[in-house]
C-alpha cells in the first residue's frame, strides 16, 4: 500500500499523540519505562495504522497478522498505540500498573486475551514468533499472513534469542519478519559497553536471514523495508531499525538513564528537576504537534 505525503502527516501526528499518552501514563503511575517506548512510537504507529492486518472490532479475526512483542517492558507504547487504534478507551491508559488493571507492567494475555503473547522475560519473544511461523507452515498459511516479532537489541545478550535465530534460518521461515529496536542502550548502559553486539547484521546473515537496515523514525524508509521483507520468499527477514531512545523529548534522547525511569520520580545530574520533567516533556511534544501540522499545511 502506497505511503502518501498525506498519510505520512497522519502518521507523524499520531505518533506524537502516542508519545504524549506515554508521558501522561508514566506521570500518573510514576513507574515504568520511558526511553524505549518513546523511541518505538513511530514504528508502532506505522504498523497499527498502515501495515498490520488487524481489526480492533474483530479481536480474534483468524486471518490477522501476528505481532509478537518480546521486550515487554516497552508496553507503554504498545498500550498507547492500541488505545489510539480503538482497542480500548484512551482513559484506561491512566490505569497503567495500578492494582487490578488490565495494563500490567508487562503485557499479559490473562488480562488482554487478544494479545498474541505475554512478555517480560527477555529473549523469549522470537522463539514464540518462530513457533507461530512454523505452525502457519504446517497449516498452509505461511503465504497468507505475516508474523512480526518486535525485539530489543539488548535482549540479544540472551542465548534463547540466538537459538530462535538459528531455527528460523534453518527452516527458512518466509513469513517471519523481525524488527530490532536498535537504540544502543539497555538498563546498565550502552549495549556496546555492556555486551557488544556488532557486527549484528553479519551475524544474522550467517544464520541465513535476509537483513535490512533503516531509520526507525523515517516512515518511508521503514515502510520500504517492510515491503521488501514481505517480498522475500526463501528465508526470514530481520529489519535493524535504528532508533533514538527517548525520541521527542530533548533531555531524554540517547540517555540510557531513562531506560527504566519514568519522569517525575528522580532528580538526576544534568536533568531538569523531577517536578518539572513531565511538564517539560509534554510541552515539547505538544509544541512539536503544532510544528508538524504547520509544516504540512
Element of type H or E holding 159: helix 159-171
Confidence at residue 297, expressed as pLDDT on a 0 to 100 scale = 63
H helix and E strand count, the chain: 10, 7
Contacts of 230 (CB under 8 A, 6+ apart): 146, 177
Separation CA 272–CA 274 (nearest Å): 6
User: What pLDDT, in 10s, does the model give residues 49-76?
Assistant: 999 999 999 999 999 999 999 999 999 9
Residue from 25, 138, 117, 9 nearest 71 by CA? 117
Confidence at residue 288, expressed as pLDDT on a 0 to 100 scale = 84
Question: Around 10, how many Cα atoms within 13 Å sit in the side-chain half-sphere?
Answer: 11
Confidence at residue 262, expressed as pLDDT on a 0 to 100 scale = 94
pTM, to two decimals = 0.96
User: Residue 233: exposed, middle, or buried by beta-carbon count in 10 A (0-12, 13-18, 19+)?
Assistant: exposed
- CATH assignment of 5-295, among 3.40.50.2300, 3.40.50.300, 3.40.630.180, 3.40.50.970: 3.40.50.970
Residue from 72, 254, 35 nearest 149 by CA? 72
More confident residue, 141 or 180: 180
Name the residue ranges covered by the structural domains of the chain: 5-295
By the 8 A CB rule, do 70 and 151 touch? yes
| SS3 at position 4 | coil
Confidence at residue 289, expressed as pLDDT on a 0 to 100 scale = 84
Separation CA 123–CA 117 (nearest Å): 13
Separation CA 98–CA 142 (nearest Å): 39
Q: What phi, psi does 118 have (nearest 5°)?
A: -85, 145
Confidence at residue 296, expressed as pLDDT on a 0 to 100 scale = 64
**Per-chain mean pLDDT for the chain:** 95
Confidence at residue 269, expressed as pLDDT on a 0 to 100 scale = 87
Average pLDDT over residues 258-287: 93
Amino acid at each position: 500500500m502506497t505511503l502518501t505525503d498525506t498519510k505520512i502527516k497522519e502518521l507523524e501526528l499520531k505518533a506524537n499523540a502516542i508519545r504524549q499518552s506515554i508521558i501522561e501514563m508514566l506521570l500518573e503511575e510514576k513507574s515504568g519505562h520511558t526511553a524505549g517506548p518513546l523511541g518505538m512510537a513511530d514504528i508502532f504507529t506505522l504498523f497499527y495504522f498502515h501495515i498490520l492486518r488487524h481489526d480492533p472490532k474483530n479481536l480474534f479475526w483468524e486471518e490477522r497478522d501476528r505481532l509478537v512483542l518480546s521486550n515487554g517492558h516497552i508496553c507503554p507504547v504498545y498500550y498507547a498505540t492500541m488505545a489510539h487504534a480503538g482497542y480500548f478507551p484512551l482513559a484506561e491508559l491512566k490505569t497503567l500498573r495500578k492494582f487490578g488493571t488490565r495494563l500490567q507492567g508487562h503485557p499479559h494475555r490473562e488480562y488482554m486475551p487478544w494479545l498474541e503473547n505475554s512478555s517480560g522475560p527477555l529473549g523469549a519473544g522470537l522463539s514464540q514468533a518462530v513457533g507461530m511461523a512454523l505452525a502457519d507452515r504446517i497449516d498452509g498459511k505461511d503465504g497468507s499472513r505475516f508474523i512480526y516479532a518486535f525485539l530489543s537489541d539488548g535482549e540479544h545478550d540472551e542465548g534463547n534469542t540466538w537459538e530462535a535465530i538459528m531455527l528460523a534460518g534453518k527452516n527458512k521461515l518466509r513469513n517471519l519478519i523481525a524488527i530490532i529496536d536498535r537504540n544502543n542502550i539497555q538498563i546498565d548502559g550502552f549495549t556496546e559497553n555492556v555486551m557488544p553486539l556488532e557486527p549484528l547484521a553479519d551475524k544474522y546473515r550467517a544464520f541465513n536471514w535476509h537483513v535490512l537496515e533503516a531509520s526507525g523514525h523515517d516512515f518511508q524508509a521503514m515502510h520500504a523495508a517492510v515491503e521488501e521483507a514481505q517480498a522475500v520468499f526463501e528465508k526470514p527477514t530481520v529489519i535493524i531499525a535504528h532508533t533514538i531512545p527517548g525520541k521527542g523529548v530533548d533531555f531524554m534522547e540517547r540517555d540510557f538513564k531513562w531506560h527504566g525511569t519514568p519522569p517525575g520520580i528522580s532528580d538526576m545530574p544534568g536533568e531538569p528537576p523531577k517536578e518539572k520533567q513531565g511538564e517539560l516533556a509534554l510541552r515539547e511534544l505538544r509544541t512539536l504537534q503544532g510544528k508538524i501540522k504547520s509544516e504540512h499545511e
